């Protein structure tokens, strides 16, 4: 459960790296819902994270 919570936090942190138009319909609040698979969503977004200078 701790891992799931950490994954949800990572999910939200990754999404915060994107501008609103990049996120599109991505719902940050819904990412905290136990009904959603947070680890999968975080993994799906991870490769797309921007590299900061």
- Show me where the domains of the chain are located: 2-48
9-21 pLDDT, tens digit each: 666 666 655 555 4
> 26-33 — which CB contacts under 8 Å span 24+ positions?
32/8
Does pTM surpass 0.85?
A: no
Instruction: Please state, for a pLDDT cut of 90, what percent of the chain lies above it.
Output: 0
For residue 44, how far is the Cα from the chain centroid?
8
Q: Reply yes or no on whether the pLDDT at 28 is more than 50.
A: yes
For residue 19, the model assigns a pLDDT of 53
- For 1-53, the DSSP string reads -HHHHHHHHHHHHHHTTS-HHHHTT--TTGGG-TTS-HHHHHHHHGGGPPPP-
Phi, psi of 49 (to 5 degrees): -60, 140
């Amino acid at each position: 459960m701790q891992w799931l919570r950490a994954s949800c936090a990572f999910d939200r942190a990754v999404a915060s790296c994107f501008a609103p138009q990049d996120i599109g319909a991505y719902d940050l609040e819904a990412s905290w819902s136990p009904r959603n698979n947070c680890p999968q969503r975080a993994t799906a977004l991870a490769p797309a994270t921007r590299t900061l200078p």
